[in-house]
Amino acid sequence: MTEMTTERSAPTGADSAESATEQAMQKVQEATGQVQQQIGEKAQQVRGQAGTGIRQQLDSRSTQAGEQVSATADAIRRVGKQLGEEGQEAPARYAAQAAQPVERLGRYLTEADGQRIIRDAEQFARRRPMVTAIGGVALGFVVARFIKASSVNGGQQPQSPYGSQAALPSGGMASGSEISR
């Protein structure tokens, strides 16, 4: 049998430059991958913290709103009882009927946590998208009116210190460059 020997040639300057470049590229790609992973983890952490904060705020504010709504239902019931004592049975019955859904809403807001309220709102939006869209438009209109009303000048056009433009003469000079003789 014959032995085959392979000779390896020593790397030339061009080959070693290419391998150094490839190694540098691999290191850069590895570092980029690590940075991307770290950014992804941080983004996930921030999203989780924001979601937790929103749910906690929603939970505490809905509890407060639920207590206020329940107090309103109690006030409606008291008005109904007074009307009944005064002999006005029909308005007393209407007040009692109106207090029932108000009381249910107050109990829901008090007992439900933020997660449940968000889930219920999403389910409602999926079941009734048109009602949700109309509600969004109405809410946007109310917010726009509130912002306009709370602006510095109350939403009115600023007045010139020299009066309105209607007081300016309608005839006369067309431009400042013309001089009448």
Q: For residues 17 and 29, what is the distance between their CA atoms, to the nearest angstrom?
A: 18
- The answer, yes or no, to whether residue 181 has pLDDT greater than 50, is no
Q: For residues 141 and 161, what is the distance between their CA atoms, to the nearest angstrom?
A: 32
pLDDT band at 24 (very low <50, low <70, confident <90, very high): confident
Q: Would you say the pTM of this structure is higher than 0.85? A: no
- Taking alpha carbons only, the member of 111, 112, 108, 90 closest to residue 100 is 108
**132 class by beta-carbon count within 10 Å (0-12 exposed, 13-18 middle, 19+ buried):** middle
Task: Quick: pLDDT tens for 45-81.
Answer: 888 777 788 888 888 899 999 999 999 999 999 999 9
Q: Are the CB atoms for 155 and 149 separated by under 8 Å?
A: yes
